[in-house]
Amino acid sequence: QLQLQESGPGLVKPSETLSLTCTVSGGSISSSSYYWGWIRQPPGKGLEWIGSIYYSGSTYYNPSLKSRVTISVDTSKNQFSLKLSSVTAADTAVYYCARHSGPVAAPSPIDYWGQGTLVTVSS
């Protein structure tokens, strides 16, 4: 059974960079056809896609966040990572890592999600 687990600091100061890692177990991140993504959800609000990556390193980003987001992949560790720069209180959210069941451009649904991790932006 595929499992995804987010890890990283739960508290980040304003203007700093938020960094999270997703570790994939029970399957290979290098499997063809699958994309791997980050989605966030501010407390009490809806879902927002941040971006997604293929194991080759090809990325897709939400245009509204693109200038601050970098998503990378480490196939040797079966992990992918998120960096969000210049954070503000508006970036406080539960951050989920997830797997797309096909090409992001298709579009394709998300069939596996991590449990989510709350990141709070505060001084």
Partner 1 sequence: SYELTQPPSVSVSPGQTARITCSGDALPKQYAYWYQQKPGQAPVLVIYKDSERPSGIPERFSGSSSGTTVTLTISGVQAEDEADYYCQSADSSGTYRVVFGGGTKLTVL
Q: Which residues bind partner 1 (CB under 8 A)?
A: 37, 39, 46-49, 52, 60, 62-64, 96, 101, 104-107, 109-111, 113-116
Q: In the complex with partner 1, which residue's Cβ is closer, 41 or 78?
A: 41
Minimum gap (Å) between residue 47 Cβ and partner 1: 4
d(CA 119, CA 103): 28
Minimum gap (Å) between residue 84 Cβ and partner 1: 16
Minimum gap (Å) between residue 119 Cβ and partner 1: 15
Look at residues 96, 91, 92, 95 and name the one whose alpha carbon lies nearest to residue 111: 96
Q: What is the DSSP letter of 91?
A: G
Q: In the complex with partner 1, which residue's Cβ is closer, 52 or 79?
A: 52
Q: Which residues contact 116 (CB under 8 A, 6 or more apart)?
A: 6, 41, 94, 95, 96
Are 8 and 19 within 8 A, CB to CB?
yes
Q: In the complex with partner 1, which residue's Cβ is closer, 3 or 15?
A: 3
